[in-house]
Amino acid sequence: MAKNNIKYIALYQSKTKFGDDAGILWYGEIKNIDIIKRSEIHELPKADESLDYRFEIEEWCKLENKIEIINHSIRSFIIYNFISTK
């Protein structure tokens, strides 16, 4: 089990960057969570020494129907929808 009892994570794709594909389409079960320095995350430009989380995902899963975010707080909407889909 992951630290802090977090079992799953979902990816939110913004309308600005993803256009019609905006929303939540991918989620995965968390295998491990580490706290590391941003400078150790090679994919990030201008990395500094501040701390960040690294999530190791068991497998990315694609939802059949994406979750669209319309006039809601993303955080509360995700929690509600994920619980209601279980």
pLDDT tens profile 37-58: 888 888 877 768 888 888 899 9
Q: List, run by run, the mean pLDDT of 10-residue segments along the chain (86 residues).
A: 72 86 91 89 79 91 87 54 50
Q: Rounded CA gap, 35 and 47, in Å?
A: 15
Say which DSSP state 20 is in. G
Q: How many folded domains does the chain comprise?
A: 1
**Which tokens hold the place of 50?**
């501040």
Q: Rounded CA gap, 8 and 48, in Å?
A: 27
What is the span of the domain harbouring residue 38? 3-85
Model pTM score: 0.67
pLDDT at 30: 92
